[in-house]
Amino acid sequence: MPRAAVLPLLAASCASKSLYGADLMLGLALAVPAAAQANAPAPRVVSELKDIRMKALADLPGAASPVDRDSCPQSVIQPKSAAAKLVAAQGWAVMSDVPLAPYRAVSFAGRMEPATSGTCSITQGNVAVFENGKLTLTTVGDGDLPSVTDYDVKYR
């Protein structure tokens, strides 16, 4: 399956797993072709969505403070893939982990707090894209991510 066909499927699959990932994955589908070229110079990564930033990364920084995953158990999954375990090991709460061809998208958050009526307030949401087990890029939504300043995050 050509990469151009894989990326929209990846975006749709991830978006169906998480309401919070729908907007992030739309931008991701637009940006990954540039980041996925083998043996190419550093890719130019672009977001067409307001307050979403994307950056090619080789290493995922740690969360500002480890997330209490027990606060919102309905929103957090148990990491099973190597990529999801890497994200969790950095202190992030893993919300979805979706494989598709050579890619794996892992959505995660830096802060989760119980809210009214059994809901969960999730902030500092991100999506990391791995290709063949290697971190390729990440998307970052608006919000305060003090330990991730090299992501080119727009702070409010």
Residue 49 burial (C-beta neighbours within 10 Å; 0-12, 13-18, 19+): middle
pTM metric for this prediction: 0.62
- Express each pLDDT in 102-113 by its tens digit: 899 999 988 888
The domain limits of the chain are 3-146
Q: Which range, of 96-100, 113-117, 127-131, averages the lowest pLDDT?
A: 113-117
All residues at 6 or more sequence positions from 69 whose CB lies less than 8 Å from its CB, including other chains: 76, 93, 112
